Structure 1
Amino acid sequence: MKFYYKLLIFTLLLLLPALACGSDSPSTSTSSSSTSIDTEQETQIEDQEEVEADEETEQISESTDTPANDPEPTSEPTATPLPPTPTPLPIGHSRSNPYPISEIVNAPNWDVQVLEIVKGEEAWQAIQSANQFNEPPKEGMEYILVKLYVKSTYTDDEAHTIGSSDFRVTGDQYIRYSSASVVEPEPQLDAELFTDGESEGWVAFEVTGGETNLILIVDELFNFDEDRLRFIELEEGSHINIPENLVSIQPTDLGVERSSPAPFGETVLTEEWEITITEVIKGDDALVMVQDANQFNEPPEEGLEYIAVKVLIRYIGTDDESDSIDGSFFKSTGDASVIYDLPSVVDPEPALNIDLFPGGETEGWIIVQSAIDETGMKLIFEPIFDFSGDNKRFISIEP
């Protein structure tokens, strides 16, 4: 019996280690499972952290590439191209660069040379001696006499005339003077020549007293080519430039509408002209002025009256060429809404009849007409060949 007890105890003792190992196995399994889960969670966390880190890196990269608060880059400013410098005209083709005095000039169809110049009182004495009916120069003016040599260079077989009407003079008053209405001293320049024919003679001009920078203009009367003009010094060193301030003068709308004419005495600015009315004389006084101007001037038609208007004019064009102006640029109108043509009379002196270069200025009389005692009278200024209408203005002639 004791043996069985001993055998049973011995068996139990043998089984105890096995039972102990059996109890450890489930514990190890649980721990392993727990460790596996923890590892998986850690891996997921690490993956999540890596994703978040990647996203953060991308955000930083994007933030670095395009800063949210930085301004958009601006393009470099483009330099404004300068206008091309105009090519200077050849010598003798402009007032600013005339041929030297005494040089033989090969102008279109003619060779021309200045031989002698006489001015002022000496010129008047020579003109007075040439013809007793020659009148003295107007107030503020003086005569100059220019002796010229000419030679025909025409290539045809015809004879061609040349004389005082083929020449002009200009100076620092920016006026283009035609030859004077006098009989010149002998020999006068008045010839008809075949090719290679030569002549010489005097031409007279009436210019502003004391004017300087005098220049002779060769401008053959029946030559209409654009390149026909030639300029020759009449005084050593003479040259004339366009006044620089003309570029800044801009036209205004003053007087554009008939219903709102420019007030009397105010200056009107058009594309090419600056106009100011300085004096107005009406009725009988105007008639006396007209009759004194020329004995053949007739009174106005019945029901009409003359109006004498003194106008101050300046040419403000910027092209280096002259433009003429006279009374034909004007008409008159009033409250009766009738446009009155210019009367056929000789205007009082100084009459508005002149050829001006840019910057040239003059003041002269024109005669217009209206119905007797018509109110609201105004001048209509409209250059003859201004087909655009840009220079048309209405100016009140009632102070």
Structure 2
Amino acid sequence: MGKFFKIGCIGLVVIFLLLVVLVMFSSSDEDSEVTVTDNSDSQSDTASTEIETTEEEPAESKEVGSRSNPVPLGSTATITGNIYDEESNSFDATVDITIKEVKRGQEVLDILKAENEFNEDPADGFEYMMVTVEANVKEAGTEDFAFLISNGDFDFISEDGKTYEMISVVTPDELFEEIYSGGTSGGNFVGQVKIGEKVTLGYEDGDFKNVFFATQ
């Protein structure tokens, strides 16, 4: 009788531990979600769309901000950011990032030439793409130090999954901003991509998670 009682107790402990593990995994999945706000009309300014899954498709393909389902152009992604002090101590920040506008081709070349006549033409088969981004630091763990966002934070990714090399051109209002808690700012950054190719932008947030944005 005592032997069976011990076995029963062990079984209950094992079941309890399994339930704890399942709850932990469930919580971590929720924390990793990217919230996206559709800015296409006034009715959706305050509406947030979180990751949705269906039985027909796996969750990975439906996650908002994934490469297979990037944040739509003009919509706002709320991400986790990091702010560092002078001693490299880290503070969490909640940051809204919006790709406001994307231009490409001859229009961008004309803008770059007007900014600096020594800006070179793109390579054969390629064109320039200029992206205008806006960032708003909604909340931060410190008011004394700023969140930094720059052109180097974004990658241009080709349709076949390759990351384009960074280029050096003189860009009007180039993105390199220090934004304190409650502040909003932005700027432009430029990449060289294949003519007419569908390009995705990649951004790594403070949790080392890649967030992807559509450019069209």
Aligned: 1:266 with 2:75: yes
Cα 1:295–1:382 change in 2 (3 A) is: farther
| Count of paired positions | 143
Query: Partner residue of 2:152?
Result: 328
* Residue of structure 2 equivalent to 1:319: 141
Q: In structure 2, which of residues 160, 179, 199 is the aligned counterpart of residue 356 of structure 1?
A: 179
1:317 shift after superposition: 4.5
1:150-172, Cα deviation, whole Å (9 max, x unpaired): xxxxxxxxxxxxxxxxxxxxxxx
Does the CA-based 8 Å contact 2:34-2:65 persist in structure 1?
no
Counterpart contact for 1:271–1:317, Cα < 8 Å:
no
8 Å contact 1:336–1:374 — kept in the other structure? Answer: no
Q: Give the match for residue 131 of structure 2.
A: 309
Equivalent in the alignment of 2:213: 395
Secondary structure of residue in 2 paired with 1:262: coil
Q: Is the CA contact (8 Å cut-off) linking 1:276 and 1:313 kept in structure 2?
A: yes
Equivalence map 1:55-66=2 (5 Å): none
Mapped contact 1:330–1:342 kept (Cα < 8 A): no
Contact 2:34–2:64 (CA<8 Å) still a contact in 1? no
Aligned to 1:285: 107
Deviations 1:358-385 (A, max 9, x none): 121113111122111112x1111136xx
The alpha-carbon deviation at position 256 of structure 1 amounts to 3.3
Residue 119 of structure 2 is aligned to residue 297 of structure 1: yes
Distance 1:257 1:251, change over 3 A: closer
Supply the distance in 1 between the matched residues of 2:77 and 2:66 (Cα, whole angstroms): 12
Secondary structure of the residue aligned to 1:260 is coil
One-letter code of the match for 1:396? A
Which residue pairs with 1:175 in the alignment? none
Q: Identity of paired residues, percent?
A: 29
Gaps of 5+ in 2: 1-32, 36-50, 52-62, 82-94
Give the whole-Å Cα distance in 1 for the aligned partners of 2:79 and 2:146. 16
Aligned-pair CA distance for 1:255 = 4.1
Matched, 1:370 2:193: yes
Query: What is the TM-score with the length of structure 1 in the denominator?
Result: 0.34
Question: Structure 2 counterpart of 1:343, which letter?
Answer: I
1:276 is aligned with what amino acid? T
CA RMSD of aligned residues (A): 2.0
Structure 1 Cα separation of the partners of residues 188 and 124 of structure 2: 23
Partner amino acid, structure 2, of 1:339: T
Provide the secondary structure at the position in 1 that maps to 2:148. Answer: strand
Q: How much has 1:288 moved relative to structure 2?
A: 1.0
Other-structure match for 1:212: none
Give the counterpart letter for 1:319 in structure 2. Answer: G
CA contact (8 A) 1:303 1:372 kept: yes
CA distance, structure 2, for counterparts of residue 316 and residue 298 of structure 1: 38
- Is the contact between residue 73 and residue 214 of structure 2 (CA under 8 Å) also seen in structure 1? yes
2:191 and 2:138 map into 1 onto residues whose CA distance is 25
* Secondary structure in 1 matching 2:128: strand
Within the candidate set 324, 342, 366, 2:166 is matched to 342
Deviation at 1:295, TM superposition (A): 2.4
Letter in 2 for 1:263: P
Q: With structure 2 as the length reference, what TM-score do the two structures score?
A: 0.60
Q: In structure 1, how many angstroms separate the alpha carbons of the residues matched to 2:190 and 2:102?
A: 10
Larger RCO of the pair (alpha carbons < 8 Å, separation 6+): 2
SS at the partner of 1:287?
helix
Distance 2:66 2:34 in 1: 14
Contact 1:325 1:352 in 2 (8 A): yes
